[in-house]
Each structure stands twice: as structure tokens, then as C-alpha cells.
Amino acid sequence: MAKVWDPTNKFQRWLDVELAACKAHVELGNIPKSAYDTIKAKASFNVKRIDEIEADIHHDVIAFLTCLAESIGDESRFVHLGLTSSDVVDTAFSLLIQDAGNLLLADIDTLMAALKEKAKKYKYTLTMGRTHGVHAEPTTVGLKLTIWFEEMKRNKQRLTQALAATNVGKISGAVGNYAHMPPKLEALVCSELGLQIAPVSTQVLQRDRHAEFMATLAIIAGSLEKMAVEIRGLQKTEFNEILEPFSKNQKGSSAMPHKKNPIICERVTGLSRVIRGYAITAFENQALWHERDISHSSSERIIFPDATICLDYMFGLMTKVIDGMTVNEQQMKLNIGKSYNVFFSQQLLLKMVQKGMLREDAYRIVQKNAHEAFDEQVLFDEKIKADPSIKTLLSDEELKAIFNFDSYSRHADEIFDRVYK
């Protein structure tokens, strides 16, 4: 990912645009083919030399063109013919975004493969589901991971859409009115580069496209943070259900040798905040003065390389966590037991309503027994057997059938078929 944003690659993309423009000029009859052949053969640049020129003239595109001219010779007069700086910079920027975005799409695929593998491994592994941080009903580890897999599937769709929105070029001149070159030139250049044509533009491509891309990165980072926060929570000593990898020689604390801290997931959480901040900057870049200013330019030189490199790194971290996480199944069983089976309350409620009791009456009876079972630390099963209003309504066989742990994973196959088809 760093290579995408390296100055050498950036200037190479600028050169790709200039060469495509020269080739289009040949087709339009504006320059001789021999001149294009010379330009293509001789055009080269040196980053250090460009920096030297820019330090003197304070204009990066002119510095780049001056450097090119030094390698090309007389035919350099045909380079940048009828173009403005942003024709080159913005069109090349679209190419760089595509390069970076395609790497992120590959990252998504890698993480999804890891999630799918672990979801299938723990498809029926029961763990306590929590709402408001409080024990609700058992669910499965496989379902937790499948939720994340499906979200990554949506993120892939979002990123694909955002890449399509930024897969555009513009060769429309200083204010976008094609005063010095016809739209046909733009069409030829964009076709050569594999870009769509911006239907209309000012001197720059409109920044709603770039804001959409950065917003998508922020959403994806938020998904990774969501996964990280869940694992951080489940790694608490009181839970001890899922732990991120901890290598043989790793140390958790300078003062406390016993510590195993979820530092990888905490890192993901922190970096997600950075990318959200960059998304706000991209939103601010939408409103430029008149046909353009360059208030967006300085910030984009930071936020796009940083955000894509950061997200690429976060994907590596989360894939490592999913691949190497410890799933403490025995501890999950112990934690489920800490609720004394009160989570079967809904199944009991439904059965009592089915047998003819009013829902409000049944709710109060079940709630009273559930709260007392938890407070007294006795099994809910035993508590309700002693309640005459339940005993007279349900047989022993009916009560026994209510306490069925398989009910919490009975539809796992159906869910998996729906998601992983």
C-alpha cells in the first residue's frame, strides 16, 4: 500500500496521463505521431530533480513538466498541450485511489475467509448472548462471527461502489469548459487509462466522490473496531471467553508479569478513530470556492495515503486476531451457568401463553421466579417446579422440554446456508 502513494508511483501516474493525452492528440491530428513516439521513448523523471525545481518555482506540476522536458528535448513542447494542472493531478489521483482500493478489496476477502473458517468451526459452540451487557440468551460463537462476515460482505459492496464513483477522469481545462481542447480528447484519454468520463467538472473533479470514498473507509474501520471491541470485552478476566493471540515470548506489562492484554484489538480501536477524523476532513473538502481552490489539496496529500495505509494495516491486525484467537469453550459453559438457566424464561412464557394464560399474567409469574432464582442462586428449573400456578398449567414433560439448550443453535444450518451460499 505504501508503494501506491510513493512519490515515484505518483509521478508515474502523472506521466501515464500526459502520455495518454499525447496519444489522443495524435488521433485528433494535433501533434505528429513521430513526436509522440519520441516523447514515449524518452520521457523520464527523477524525484530528486523534481523536488529541486519545485523548491525554486513552488509549483509541483510545472516542476514535473520541466523535469520531463529535460529528458525529452524539443518534442516536450507537445506535452501538456491544452491541459491544466488538475487535469493531470486529479485524473492520476483517481488511478491511485483505484490502486489503493483494490488492495483493500483483497484485504476484505482475506478477512472474510478467516471469519468463514472460524464461524464454521464454532458453528454450534454455545456462548452467552448479552444485551445491555447483561445475560440475555445463549447464542453461538459461529453466529457472532457470521454477523461480522455478513457486514464485511456489505463493506465490500460499499467499497466497490465508492471505487466506481472515483473511477473517473477529467481533461476539461482551467474551468471545465473545454475552451482549449474538445471533449473528444477527454474521452480518448479516459478510455486509454481505463477511467470513466466525469460528465461535467470544474477545474477539478467534484469532491463528493472523494468524500464518499473516505466515508466508506471510515465505515469499514468502524466494522473492524466493532469486532475488536467485542473481543476486548470477551477477554476481560470476568468473561475469559475469547482471547486475541499472545505469542510465546510476548510480555503484557512492565510491572505485572501475569497480564495478557488485548493490545492488538485496542490498536484497531484507536486507529479507527483516526480514519473517522480523516473522513470529516474529506467532508470539509467538498465546498471549494467557485471553479476551484486548493484548500483540499494539502489535506488530501495526508488523509488518502494515511487512511488507506492505516486501514490496510488494521485488516492485517484483525485477520491475525481471527486466525489465532483462543476460544475458551469451557469458560463459556461456566459463564452460561452463572445465570442459573433463567434465560429459558421466554420459552416458559410462550408455553404458558400457548396453554391459555394471559400474556401479562404469565409474564409476571415467570419474571418473579426468574428474579428469585437468580437472587437465591438456584436453578430456574427447580424454582418453577415449586410454583403451583405453573405446576397446574404444565406437566413435568412439558417443563422438561422447555429447558433445551439445542434450541439456541437449532437454526444454525439454515442461517449459514443463507449467508455462505
Catalytic positions, please? Answer: 132, 253
Question: Are the C-beta atoms of residues 394 and 347 closer than 8 Å to each other?
Answer: no
Helices 85-121 and 208-234 pack at an angle, to 10 degrees, of 30
Helices 359-376 and 345-354 pack at an angle, to 10 degrees, of 150
Beta strands in 204-297 (DSSP E): 242-243
Rounded Cα distance, 60 and 93, in Å: 14
* DSSP one-letter code for 246: -
Q: What is the residue whose three cell numbers read 454455545?
A: 126
In this structure, which amino acid lies at residue 244?
Answer: E
Rounded Cα distance, 370 and 343, in Å: 8
Rounded Cα distance, 54 and 46, in Å: 12
Question: Are the C-beta atoms of residues 303 and 281 closer than 8 Å to each other?
Answer: yes
Q: Report the chain's C-alpha Rg in angstroms.
A: 31
Q: What is the residue whose three cell numbers read 434450541?
A: 407
Number of Cβ within 10 Å of residue 67's Cβ equals 23
Rounded Cα distance, 66 and 60, in Å: 10
Q: What angle is formed at CA 22 by the lines to CA 18 and CA 23, rounded to 5 degrees?
A: 115
137: helix, strand or coil: strand
- Would the CA dihedral through 109, 110, 112, 113 be positive or negative? positive
Residue 399 is inside which H or E element, if any? helix 396-402
Question: Are the C-beta atoms of residues 216 and 158 closer than 8 Å to each other?
Answer: yes
Question: Are the C-beta atoms of residues 193 and 17 closer than 8 Å to each other?
Answer: yes
In this structure, which amino acid lies at residue 193?
Answer: L
